[in-house]
């Protein structure tokens, strides 16, 4: 299956396929020549050989470079090490970088591509569900700094995205579910069709039935591609993609990044942010119930750990990157396809936090 991101001269295809197609598919975008395959220490042992063989088979001359794995290594130091290695290898403006891995690898390689020799062509080969439905599409690249996540980077579009669906077989169930949090987000954003389809097919998606999973990924990519085509640099509607993230990031910050997986935090965040819509009278309580039902069907949590306090969650939103002039704007879901950007008050954030915490244990009388 093939989709595209329409950005004029910088348009590119998103191919849902197999890793073995990489060489042939890339040869349709670039005349075969030198390329550097960048992967990490977890994914390279599993898939680098297949990727290299595919590139060589299509006439490319690939070199493999490995970078460290994990969010903790999504740093300026890793970026610097990668750029230094590329320069040592003598890359030139005709060299293509190919990222093989999850969102962390894709974000680092994309940033290295944007900055090395003022811009090398790059290809995203996402191998996690989250990277297939979200991180690999749209051209946001970058690294974390001690000051926060993704604070240094660039908007830099790939020339091709090849979602290597056959690599999902080795992804852990936890990482797979994490991607489902972003699938849920896309279904909420896109509208009733996708939301109801996902509700009907949740079991099949969770069981990774190939045809159904491919449809889910394609619908997410199509939606994201459409938004990116309209608002590449997040001047407006691209901010809708932050649905569930205002509260989700607050939970991640409170608990320490990594203790609640990002996709889980987003799913819980969507529920809390929907509760604000209900409190405003913009959505019926049945919407909240429908959301909770689908979230559970996807194997995702609907509540944050009980030891968190409402006040701590509200306080944590003060560190949100999207806060401007003291006002926090969130992408509030009032229903499928009814997500709008709106300023939220601390009192409303309390409502959201209450909706995602277990009810207070009753005091024995
Ligand atoms: N650029 C964007 O628009 C965008 C959007 C969303 C998220 N992100 C970023 O994406 C990152 C999260 O991405 P992620 O969830 O893919 O995490 P990740 O890249 O850390 O991958 C998760 C783990 O799975 C391993 N892995 C990857 N593919 C595998 C496979 N096929 N089999 C076995 N193991 C595999 C990875 O090596 C890693 O250990 C975050 O840094 C986030 O900021 C970026
Ligand atoms: Zn996210």
Q: What is the pLDDT along the chain (365 residues), one digit of tens a residue?
A: 999 999 999 999 999 999 999 999 999 999 999 999 999 999 999 999 999 999 999 999 999 999 999 999 999 999 999 999 999 999 999 999 999 999 999 999 999 999 999 999 999 999 999 999 999 999 999 999 988 888 899 999 999 999 999 999 999 999 999 999 999 999 999 999 999 999 999 999 999 999 999 999 999 999 999 999 999 999 999 999 999 999 999 999 898 866 889 999 999 999 999 999 999 999 999 999 999 999 999 999 999 998 899 999 999 998 887 788 888 999 999 999 999 999 999 999 999 999 999 887 444 44
In contact, 3 and 218? CB cutoff 8 Å: yes
Nearest ligand, CA 265: 2
CA 178 to ligand 1 centroid distance, Å: 10
Residue with the smallest CA separation from ligand 1 atom 10 is: 103
In contact, 304 and 358? CB cutoff 8 Å: no
Q: Which CATH number fits domain 2-170: 3.40.50.1970, 3.20.20.150, 3.40.50.300, 3.40.50.150?
A: 3.40.50.1970
pTM of the model: 0.95
What are the extents of the domains in the chain?
Answer: 2-170, 173-355
Residue with the smallest CA separation from ligand 1 atom 33 is: 171
For residues 65 and 95, what is the distance between their CA atoms, to the nearest angstrom?
14
CATH architecture of 173-355: Up-down Bundle (1.20)
CA 244 to ligand 1 centroid distance, Å: 18
CA distances from 188 to 50, 152, 184 (A): 36, 29, 6
Segments in 143-302 forming alpha helices (H): 173-190, 192-206, 210-230, 245-255, 262-279, 285-297
In contact, 205 and 198? CB cutoff 8 Å: yes
């Amino acid at each position: 299956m093939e989709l595209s991101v329409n950005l004029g001269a910088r348009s590119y295809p998103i191919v849902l396929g197999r890793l073995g197609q990489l060489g042939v598919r890339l040869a349709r975008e670039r005349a075969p020549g030198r390329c550097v395959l960048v992967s990490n220490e977890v994914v390279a042992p599993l898939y680098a050989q297949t990727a290299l063989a595919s590139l060589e088979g299509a006439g490319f001359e690939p070199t493999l470079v490995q970078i460290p794995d994990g969010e903790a290594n999504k740093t300026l130091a890793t970026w610097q090490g990668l750029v230094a290695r590329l320069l040592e290898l003598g890359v030139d403006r005709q060299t293509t970088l190919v990222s093989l891995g999850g969102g962390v690898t894709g974000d680092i390689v994309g940033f290295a591509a944007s900055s090395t020799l003022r811009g090398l062509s790059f290809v995203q080969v996402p191998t996690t569900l989250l990277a297939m439905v979200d991180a690999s599409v749209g051209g946001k690249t970058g690294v974390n700094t001690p000051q926060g996540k993704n604070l240094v980077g660039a908007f830099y579009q790939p020339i091709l995205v090849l979602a290597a669906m056959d690599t999902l077989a080795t992804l852990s169930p936890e990482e797979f579910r994490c991607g489902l949090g972003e699938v849920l987000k896309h279904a909420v954003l896109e509208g009733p069709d996708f939301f109801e389809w996902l509700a009907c097919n949740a079991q099949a998606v969770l069981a990774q039935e190939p045809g159904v999973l491919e449809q889910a990924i394609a619908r997410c990519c199509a939606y994201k591609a459409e938004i990116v085509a309209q608002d590449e640099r997040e001047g407006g509607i691209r901010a809708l993609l932050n649905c569930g993230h205002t509260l989700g990031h607050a939970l991640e910050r409170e608990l320490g990044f990594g203790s609640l997986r990002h996709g889980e935090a987003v799913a819980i965040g969507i529920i809390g942010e929907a509760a604000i819509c209900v409190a405003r009278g913009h959505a019926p309580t049945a919407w909240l119930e429908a959301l909770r039902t689908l979230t559970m069907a996807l194997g995702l949590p609907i509540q944050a750990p009980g030891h968190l306090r409402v006040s701590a969650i509200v306080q944590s939103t003060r560190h949100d990157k999207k806060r401007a002039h003291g006002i926090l704007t969130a992408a509030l879901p009032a229903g499928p396809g009814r997500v709008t950007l709106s300023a939220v008050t601390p009192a409303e954030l309390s409502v959201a936090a209450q909706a995602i915490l277990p009810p207070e244990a009753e005091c024995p009388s």
